[in-house]
Structure 1
Amino acid sequence: MTPDSPVLAEIRDLRLRLPHVLGVVVASVDGLLIAQDTHGVEPEVFAAMSAAQLGLGQQTVAAVRAGEFRESVTTATNGYVATFAAGASALLTVIAGRELNVARLHHEARPAAARIGELVRQAEQRRITEQYDPSSGKRSR
């Protein structure tokens, strides 16, 4: 992601709205890093772990027929790790200190995840459109 990408701008805005956030990662559902604003965490590794957590959450809710996975919050002694589905092909993970107001996290991160999901969907659609050659009916590349 370029420093001025809309996804990066969205996660930086989220950090500004949420005190005690230590980092934010956006990844594809297969664990590839899309954007990050973190310090002290390897973002590529964390993106992969977040995708694994998303996958586990999806399998868990499917096993109990609870609908679609939306989010998971892990509480630890020193803080929180929250993963939110961001559309069909991405996820948003927030790392925060124990002072975080979890209700505010939900209030801010849920709509941010929805916006990020839409931004990722639009970027994917642009990539597909740019690769398609209408004169031949084939994909270029």
Structure 2
Amino acid sequence: MTAAPPEVLAELQELRVRVPYLTGAMVASTDGLVIAHLLAKNAEPDGVAALTAAALGVGARLTEAVGHGGFRELLVNGEFGYVATYAAGVSSVLTLLATADANVGRLNLEARRACPRLAALIDGAFQHRPQQV
């Protein structure tokens, strides 16, 4: 996959500044390929991206099955923190990791604001790349 624009990584860095207790951020394609990430060394980016794609698939099927339309976001609350995944355009998702002390409202607010910017950066960058044979 072509390298993500530097603005994508900058957006993830800004999220780390704006959201207290955020411990990681990743943008991945909807099929589970890493586009950009700021994850701790103990989190394997490829594994997180693959699991995010699987969760996205389940979330999308669930919202469709109950008549709630297309996937928008998914929040998982674990014993030690949160994993939140948000649709970021048609081809990518934003996944954020936060400690249990995080303000979920702030997490959602900042992620929802970031997703349209990320979508424009990613969809625009990968839409104009040359076709590979």
Find the counterpart in structure 1 of residue 6 from structure 2: 5
Unmatched runs of 5 consecutive residues or more in structure 1: 132-138
Find the counterpart in structure 1 of residue 76 from structure 2: 74
> Normalised by the size of structure 1, how large is the TM-score?
0.87
CA distance in 2, matches of 1:118, 1:48: 23
Matches of residues 1-141 of structure 1 in structure 2 within 5 Å?
Answer: 1=3, 5-39=6-40, 40-127=42-129, 131=130
> Normalised by the size of structure 2, how large is the TM-score?
0.92
Classify the secondary structure of the residue corresponding to 2:128: helix
Classify the secondary structure of the residue corresponding to 2:101: coil
Q: May I ask how many residue pairs the two structures share in their alignment? A: 130
Report the CA distance shift for 1:97/1:120 in structure 2 as closer, same or farther (over 3 A). same
Of structures 1 and 2, the larger Rg is shown by 1
Unmatched runs of 5 consecutive residues or more in structure 2: none
Percent identity over the alignment is 44
Kindly report the root-mean-square deviation, in angstroms, between the aligned alpha carbons of the 2 structures: 1.5
CA distance in 2, matches of 1:66, 1:15: 31
CA displacement at 1:140 relative to structure 2? 7.4
